[in-house]
Structure 1
């Protein structure tokens, strides 16, 4: 049976392969018991919130709004504290206010929070210095960072739920903030699915490592009402992207904002990869949101520490904006790994240098932008959005003016032709009259 024609249910993904990033629990009975308990618990988000997010993503796809997604690479249970959560929310609010003030677009905010407890890893097994092989740390929902806690433990899913409840309580006092996380842990996601709504978050995305067309992850998210994101890297082909969009859109007729394409190419590769993808999508019936994640394609290691340069991140976003504009599309959102705390995990632009990395590096996984760095980046992105938009408008006005001039010239040429023709006809008529006059006089 075709992957497109298969009937969907919240468990239909179980008949599809998980190509990688599967979680090997030693006690499946224990896992099933925990999943049953999760299914009985109240939803974290309402269907109304999901429908609101769908409308916001559709507006972003039309260029009428901008989406801002930001938060930790991997949330920590230890960071579920009022002050830390409030700093994250405050940062998102300040960023949104700035983008809105500069661009004039309404900005809809989504936090990478209240569920980003499971992480894909490039290496699922870690070899220790003594030669022992253990599972890599994959987020607090799955296992612990300490070597003794590396075996996947399903019991962790329950504190993950309650920590999310605590965050949702803090968010309820803030201006509307949606939540998002990667739909990696499919057993948990299915347990928290009611009808066609995943009630663990309003916005879910499928990662670059798990988006296989015949895979379980795309099968799970394709039937949801939630807006869905798909991360794509530099190996993505136009055909691959179009097939993915076709897999996720219910009626294959576009569905504005149903899918958010989250690009993560790296500053050195975006110029070579993105143009062909944009052209292919523009020629298709699909109308996704284009969102840039400049973090994941630009990491490097400095003195054994993973980090990112803020200027490189800005370069990828700037290139993405200009390429999209060149091909008649637009940037609809920004996806950042960041925290409101003044951590020292990324480098630059001027406030930090590489030597500062060890001072306050607390990320459980990849490096995050500090509050200062995240604001610096957003301020410049907003400026580039406006500059690119103004340039596009000037070009369109120039083309419109040229079109008017061309039309005027054509009208003038036609008018001149008719005037000349009429004058010639009059001359011929006079000659004819004169000849007749001569004949009548016997000349």
Structure 2
């Protein structure tokens, strides 16, 4: 039986979560998590909700991106720095296109657990439990590695704390100076293949030159040298999530202390399921992945449940659509109609990654750049026709020079994938592909974004 309200998910069916073989060890880890400081705090989560409310009105734009699944082995200061660097570049390019602030949210400092399409995987004649992310079990294809180990939750916590410490330092310590960020972008557009984006970069340079001429240097204007940056992840492993949930002493409200924003995956969004039950109780902004199988009936129930009946609570709920480039027209309009009929104030954002995963001729899972872009274009087109607000984009990406998605400026092919295919789960955009997408989304955002946004700016 649940020991508190937040534990009520334990009475629901376990979906995409491990069964730990040592209950005593699990209880010890959960007890330790309850004693540790939270990774994020109530006021930070509320501030993000306020910024997302502006996104829902077309007064800001959301950039959410990061690793498919964070890794214990591939963690280091260089990886965090390079990821943050490309996120800042993307945000600057998008800000110039949207002419509104860009809310920056990383898939980082908590994105360790991954849902899987099958409970087991087979190599040759050997069949073992699937790898479910470093917070649960190991990637090595051995029987010992694939046993769920609760101690991994403590390692995930420690790595997340270190990551957030570094991100907070860079966000406020001068690394985010707009002039530095723009110089990195100029380096990108100096490449011959990036010539198409040089005009945008030069226009940005003119803007920064004007700002300096007007006397607004980063030293005089803190806003030019610092940014707000938030963390997010899929709230999949609920023992970890509950262990870091805290009660705000000022209000008595429950706060998920594992990350500023948490989301529910397309495989775990059962209206009466454990993950929905947990997420409805915390005050953090909540994301909900919506795929081709999301019915209008289920969406109504989910919106009402996750918004606790307060359909005008803008900034509380984000709908993250993930259909595939060729399925947007079939599914997005009906979901928009459902939300509009309800009168719910949600943030619409596009995940163009998960619906566009294919197997290459060389046997690697990959995502063609043109399909990723195509889904984003369709997302903007449909919202434009409906007069609703395309609030943001959600990318699986890295700051590293990996070869996991085909296409882009460097025209990666199937044959290139084996060069630097480092992901533990799904293919990610590399730094060049991610920044190129930002330039292309910039062009989409120059058109009127929605009737709602036009009214808001009038």
**TM, length-normalised to structure 2:** 0.82
Distance 2:113 2:244 in 1: 15
Distance 2:231 2:433 in 1: 22
Distance 1:311 1:127 in 2: 31
Instruction: Work out whether residues 344 and 360 of structure 1, in 8 Å CA contact, stay in contact via their aligned partners in 2.
Output: yes
Distance 2:335 2:130 in 1: 34
Alignment of 1:115-194 (within 5 A): 115-130=110-125, 132-148=126-142, 149-175=145-171, 176-194=228-246
User: Which stretch of structure 1 is more off in the superposition, 197-206 or 70-79?
Assistant: 70-79
Q: How many residue pairs end up in the alignment? A: 388
Instruction: Work out whether residues 252 and 285 of structure 1, in 8 Å CA contact, stay in contact via their aligned partners in 2.
Output: no
Which residue of 335, 356, 362 corresponds with 2:394?
Answer: 335
Q: 1:251 to 1:237 in 2, by over 3 A?
A: closer
Residue matched to 1:410:
none
User: Which stretch of structure 1 is more off in the superposition, 52-61 or 364-373?
Assistant: 52-61
The runs of at least 4 aligned residues of structure 1 exceeding 6 Å deviation read none
- What do residues 10-38 of structure 1 show as CA deviations (whole Å, max 9, x unaligned)? 111111222x3121111111111001001
Residue matched to 2:318:
260
Residue matched to 1:309:
368
1:275 aligns with 2:269: no
Residue matched to 1:74:
69
Residue matched to 2:205:
none
Shift of 1:80: 2.1
Shift of 1:8: 8.3
SS in 2 for 1:70: strand
Residue matched to 1:428:
none
Which residue of 342, 350, 353 corresponds with 2:413?
Answer: 353
Distance 2:127 2:38 in 1: 38
Instruction: Work out whether residues 73 and 365 of structure 1, in 8 Å CA contact, stay in contact via their aligned partners in 2.
Output: yes
Distance 2:12 2:310 in 1: 21
Residue matched to 2:357:
299
- What do residues 404-442 of structure 1 show as CA deviations (whole Å, max 9, x unaligned)? xxxxxxxxxxxxxxxxxxxxxxxxxxxxxxxxxxxxxxx
Which residue of 432, 446, 456 corresponds with 1:372?
Answer: 432
Shift of 1:243: 1.2
- What do residues 366-421 of structure 1 show as CA deviations (whole Å, max 9, x unaligned)? 0000000001111111211222539x69x99xxxxxxxxxxxxxxxxxxxxxxxxx
Which residue of 199, 206, 209 corresponds with 2:264?
Answer: 206
SS in 2 for 1:42: coil
Shift of 1:174: 2.2
SS in 2 for 1:108: strand
Shift of 1:7: 13
* Structure 2 unpaired stretches of 5+: 172-227, 248-253
Which residue of 23, 42, 51 corresponds with 2:46?
Answer: 51
Higher RCO (C-alpha 8 Å, min separation 6): 2
1:324 aligns with 2:374: no
Residue matched to 1:426:
none
* Structure 1 unpaired stretches of 5+: 1-5, 397-443
Distance 1:291 1:327 in 2: 15
Q: Which has the larger radius of gyration?
A: 1
**TM, length-normalised to structure 1:** 0.85
Which residue of 102, 105, 118 corresponds with 1:107?
Answer: 102
